Chain A
Amino acid sequence: MSLWGWVLIACVLSFVIKFAGYLLPRKAMDNPRMSRVAGTLTIGLLASLTMMNTFASGQALAVDARIVALAAAAVALWLRAPFLVVVIVGAAAAALTRLAGWG
């Protein structure tokens, strides 16, 4: 299937999940286990996506300018910078590292 197909399937499923919350009887989703799994899934996926975007180069591991971006973003978050500033700091760190000739 083309990328368009997967984009549209993801869009449909996103709405179906949201709408299900409004349609299903309350007790179907209102249990602690459902909330726990939704919560741990969110954390696990975001941690995994952070690592993949930092270290994956296709199917190999690579250490390059992106790890400097990760460190810079962590410092920005530690200093309680707003999200948009964190993203810009990450971009600037990677760009400057490459400009300096590494990664």
Chain B
Amino acid sequence: MSWFTSPAVRVGLSISIATGLYGLSFGALSVAAGLTFWQTMALSLLLFSGGSQFAFIGVIGGGGTGVAAMSAATLLGIRNGVYGMQMNALVRPSGLRKAIAAQVTIDESAATASGQLDHQEQRRGFWTAGLGVFTLWNIFTAVGALAGDAMGDPRQWGLDGAAVAAFLGLLWPRLQAKQPAAIAVVCALITVLTIPLLPSGVPILVAAAVAGVIGWFKHDAVPAGMAPDVEPYEEPYSEHDVDHYAADHKRPDHATPHRKGTDRKGDI
């Protein structure tokens, strides 16, 4: 099978386009939050993890400090380390490729690779999605940042509402089971209750600490929320699909938790 007929490459490319396009919203929201064009590009080129990037600008836009923004972004990036370990076993890059693979290790590339059963296809899927999303995400971040700069008052265009929708959109696919939803509710309440009491940005870190403690002491086998929020394949058969495995196996009567198609997008 060649690269041109490979199903993994096809999935990787469609994921790249869908994800790249919403780089537009990141670029526009980032300049609206007060970052410069080049700070915005630094996040997309160097940090390159959508959830973490949205977290960074979300804290800054809400009046939080740089250290709170950096902390929130870093904590959200921890799952990429877990993906990195899984991808190292699947893709086995060496030398300089190891560093490049690390940089493009995100939800999309991890999900595309681990959805394939054939070793060759896993590598093709990883590199296509990783490099494809990296390229398009950065191009569209630049376009969004330039457009955002030209828009004037961001509130008039509802960009603060767009930020709210973006975070809910990143959270939503992770709430398929009861337990993740309970954690989300607890952390949401903590945030609202502590906003008036603590400096801006700090309530997020309190909520993160509580969520981390829950994860530390929780004993079920399903790593809630570790499914990448992309589902490139019709049938859930990867280890990333633990939420769906759980839903399928524990609750056979549960109404279709599967999201179909490649357009169902989340963070990169």
Number of interface residues of B (CB under 8 A): 109
Whether B85 is near chain A, meaning CB under 8 Å from some CB there, is: yes
A15 to nearest B CB, angstroms? Answer: 6
Which residue of B is nearest A17, CB measured? B81
- Bound state CA distance, A26 and B79, in angstroms? 15
> Is B254 positioned at the interface, with any CB of A under 8 Å from its CB?
no
Given contacts A40-B215, A43-B211, contact A91 B266 (CB under 8 A): no
Say yes or no: is B150 at the interface (Cβ < 8 Å to chain A).
Answer: no
Which one, B158, B200, B225, contacts A58 given CB within 8 A? B200
Give the residue of B77, B162, B207 whose beta carbon is less than 8 angstroms from that of A14.
Answer: B77
CA of A91 to CA of B165, assembled, Å:
8
Question: Contact: A13 with B183, CB < 8 Å?
Answer: no
Interface class of chain A by DSSP = helix
What B residues does A97 contact at CB under 8 A? 161
0/1 interface trace, chain A 59-99, chain B, CB 8 Å (1 if under) = 11100011011101110110010111011111111111110
Question: Which residues does chain A contribute within 8 Å of B169, judged by CB atoms?
Answer: 73, 77, 83, 86-87
Q: How far is the CA of A48 from the CA of B223 in the complex (A)?
A: 19
A61 touches B165 (CB 8 A): no
B259 touches A53 (CB 8 A): no
Give the number of residue pairs across the A-B interface with Cβ within 8 Å. Answer: 356
Out of A9, A22, A37, A65, which one reaches B161, CB within 8 Å?
Answer: A65
Contact between A41 and B174, CB atoms less than 8 A apart: no
Size of A's binding interface in residues, CB under 8 A:
82
> Does residue B133 face the partner (Cβ distance < 8 Å to A)?
no
Task: Evaluate contact between B211 and A45: CB separation under 8 angstroms.
Answer: yes
The answer to whether A84 touches B265 (Cβ under 8 A) is yes
The answer to whether B215 touches A51 (Cβ under 8 A) is no
Chain B residues 137 to 184 lying within 8 A of chain A, measured CB to CB, are 155-172, 174-175, 180, 183-184
**The residue from B69, B168, B188, B225 contacting A6, defined by CB atoms under 8 A apart:** B69
A41 touches B212 (CB 8 A): yes
Q: Is the CB of A29 within 8 A of B43?
A: no
**Which listed residue, B21, B161, B211, touches A90 by the CB 8 Å rule?**
B161
Q: Which residues of B contact A17 (CB under 8 A)?
A: 74, 77-78, 80-81, 84
Query: Taking beta carbons and an 8 Å cutoff, which residues of A are in contact with B?
Result: 1-15, 17-24, 26, 29-30, 32-56, 58-61, 65-66, 68-70, 72-74, 76-77, 80, 82-84, 86-98
B residues whose Cβ falls under 8 Å from a Cβ of A: 18, 21-22, 24-25, 35, 39, 42-43, 46-49, 51-52, 54-56, 58-63, 66-67, 69-70, 72-89, 93, 98-99, 101-103, 105, 155-172, 174-175, 180, 183-188, 190-192, 195-196, 198-200, 203-204, 207-208, 210-212, 214-216, 218, 221, 223-226, 259, 263-266
In the A-B complex, list the 7 residue pairs whose CB atoms are closest, starting with the nearest.
A21-B84, A44-B211, A90-B165, A94-B161, A69-B161, A6-B66, A40-B215
- Besides A21-B102, A59-B199, A73-B169, 12 other A-B contacts (C-beta < 8 A): A3-B66, A13-B77, A17-B84, A19-B102, A23-B98, A43-B211, A44-B208, A53-B58, A61-B195, A69-B162, A73-B168, A87-B165
